Structure formats: C-alpha cells, structure tokens
Amino acid sequence: MAMESKYIWMNGEMLPFEKATLHFLTPALHYGAAVFEGIRSYNTPKGPAVFRLREHVERLFDSARVFGFREFPWTVDQVCEAIKQVVKANDFKDCYVRPLLYLDAGGWNLNVDYGRPSLAIAAWEWANYLGEEALAKGIRANISSFTRHHPNVMMTKAKISGNYANSFLAKTESQRLGFEEAIMLDPQGYVAECTGENLFLVRNGKLITPSTAPVLEGITRDAIFTIAKDLGYEFAEQPVSRDQLYVADEVFVCGTAAECIGLSEIDFRRIGDGKTGPVTRAIQKVYHEAIRGRVAKYESWCDYVDVSQSIKLSLDTPASVE
C-alpha cells in the first residue's frame, strides 16, 4: 500500500512527507495514548469533497474527551480547515484522511494530565480496504475467538489508538485462518462489530444492526440508516446473535475505509446465495453516488474543498479550548 503524499500537517505546519517524524520516546507510541479519525475525501462534479467532515472532527473531539484530554490544541473549525488544506496540498482525487491527536510528551506516569497532546493530519490513497475483489464478490468472515471490548474496559465510543490492539488480535487471527475479516462478539456473546466496520444483516427485507452500546457509533452506519429509510426499508437496532447471521438473507459491513461490502460467507456457512444481495447492492449504489456528491438530497454530507485558493502552509496560533 502506497502511503506517500506530498505533505503531512503537524501542529499547524504543512511539512514535506519525509519530515513528518516523531521521536522514539513519544508516549503515544508506547501506550497507544492517542485518538484518531478515519475520513474520506472523494472527487465530485464540483471538485474534491470531504464526506461528513464536521461529524468526523466532532467525534475526534469526543474521543479526546473520553480519553481524558482536557485541552484540545485546536478548534473544530480549525481542524476542519486543516483537513481540507491537507487534501488540497496533496492534490489527491480520492483519498483517506487520518487526523491523530497523540500524547507527545509527558504522561510517563500514565496520567494524561502530565502530558501534552499534539495533532497531525496525513492523507493517502487507500482503495479496496477489504481487498480488491471485495466489492464484486463480497468477503469471507469468521467469528473471532477474541471478544470485543467490554464498555467499562475500553471506551467503545472513542477511537482510542490503544483500543485497536483488540482489532489487531482479531484481524490477524482471521486472516491467518484464511478469512478476510473478523466479526467480534461483545462480552455477553452478542454480535458487536468487525475490527474496523459496523455490521448489518438483512432478513425478509428488514435491516437489523446491533445497538451502539458496545460498538463505535459509525458515521457510515448512520448514513446507511438514512439511505435505507429513504429507500423504504424497515430497520431496527437490536441484539443480534451469531446464528442470526448464519440464517440472514444478507450481511454487510460498513465503515469509512471499507465503505459498504457484502459478506459471502461466515464461519464456512454461505450467506444467502453467496453473492452480495439485492438490498446490500441497492444501498451500496446510493452510498457510492452520495459520497461522490451525485445525490442532491445528500449533498450536505459533502464538504467541498476550495481548490481555487492557494494552500496555507501554516495556521494561526492554536486555540486552547476545553
């Protein structure tokens, strides 16, 4: 995967890619003491647009609050602007954007109050997160032997970097077993989410997804709710058992990186006829149009990047907000 770009934004400065480095003694590296977002920008008829930018940045701030950071070095508006500058500076058509707020210094006594967070934003071209054939053929998944976080062990509403050790365990195991993705159960044994996506099942034309209590409140999940409602599908948030997935007509996963991908098989059991089903296809189609600014009623989800103005290589003095 090529992650190169021209610029990475660090603490207000647009740095050339190779200059965006950190010291070995950065506490975030040792303890996963960081929060991040995964955002995509797409080429639309009106130029590049970041999909649901403000919601992602607000979730970054929420993650920071959940983790206990008391001071955020920038405002929501500044971070939104910086993200657009990164997309513009790198001249990408479609790209993935990764802001990371990380414990940069201090905090070695495991107390965030003694540390200082810094913010960096990178972008790269990241197509086919779940593999090149995922969109056409769907993917094969297993139920992980690893349990998803108990909500009082790790904070499930926050994209805390350290949380992702759990995803690493599950996905590595899953791929070593020959699957493409892992489905994780919550500590009560109900379906929670995948390592980097939320999950839906379709039965008798109705969409069902686990409630957000033990999982990340996915922004794609939310977009899919809106699309499904507008397409006239019934949907419900309710506990989902493992075998409900086995007997579903369709199962699909969704997330910013993965987008919307059907599951062809779970635990060696074919789902439906083993092909991405009609409901998933219908939702996928609208989602793909919406992210590219081609559906008028969802255009407010697209935050256009003004490419006519020159790139700002640095931002004004950081604001300190609670």
- Kindly list the catalytic residues: 159
The binder of ligand PPE chosen from 12, 27, 38, 115 (CB under 6 A): 38
Two tokens, residue 212: 């957000």
DSSP state of 165: H
C-beta separation of 60 from 73 below 8 A: no
Q: How far apart are CA 272 and CA 260, in angstroms?
A: 17
The binder of ligand PPE chosen from 76, 105, 169, 257 (CB under 6 A): 257
Q: How far apart are CA 173 and CA 188, in angstroms?
A: 21
Q: Which is nearer to ligand PPE, 245 or 258 (CB)?
A: 258
Q: How far apart are CA 7 and CA 215, in angstroms?
A: 33
Q: Which stretch binds ligand PPE (CB under 6 A): 60-68, 190-198, 241-249, 285-293?
A: 190-198
Q: Which stretch binds ligand PPE (CB under 6 A): 107-115, 229-237, 253-261, 292-300?
A: 253-261
Hey, which residues does 183 pair with through a beta bridge? 143, 194
CB atoms within 10 A of CB 302: 23
Query: At its nearest, how many Å lie between ligand PPE and the CB of residue 258?
Result: 6
Query: At its nearest, how many Å lie between ligand PPE and the CB of residue 59?
Result: 7
Query: At its nearest, how many Å lie between ligand PPE and the CB of residue 320?
Result: 27
Two tokens, residue 247: 């007997």
Interface with ligand PPE, residue 220, by CB under 6 A:
yes
- Residues touching ligand PPE, count (CB under 6 A): 14
Q: Which is nearer to ligand PPE, 87 or 258 (CB)?
A: 258
Q: How far apart are CA 297 and CA 290, in angstroms?
A: 9
Amino acid at 175: Q
Q: Which is nearer to ligand PPE, 182 or 315 (CB)?
A: 182
Q: Which is nearer to ligand PPE, 12 or 171 (CB)?
A: 171
Q: Which is nearer to ligand PPE, 210 or 293 (CB)?
A: 210
Binding positions for ligand PPE, 82-101, rule CB under 6 A: none
Interface with ligand PPE, residue 210, by CB under 6 A:
no
Determine the Cα angle at 170 with ends 224 and 259, to 5°: 25
Hey, which residues does 13 pair with through a beta bridge? 10, 314
Q: Phi, psi (5° rounding) for residue 281?
A: -60, -40
The binder of ligand PPE chosen from 196, 210, 272, 293 (CB under 6 A): 196
Interface with ligand PPE, residue 193, by CB under 6 A:
yes
Interface with ligand PPE, residue 218, by CB under 6 A:
yes
Q: How far apart are CA 206 and CA 318, in angstroms?
A: 47
Binding site for ligand PPE (CB under 6 A): 38, 193, 196-198, 216, 218-221, 255-258
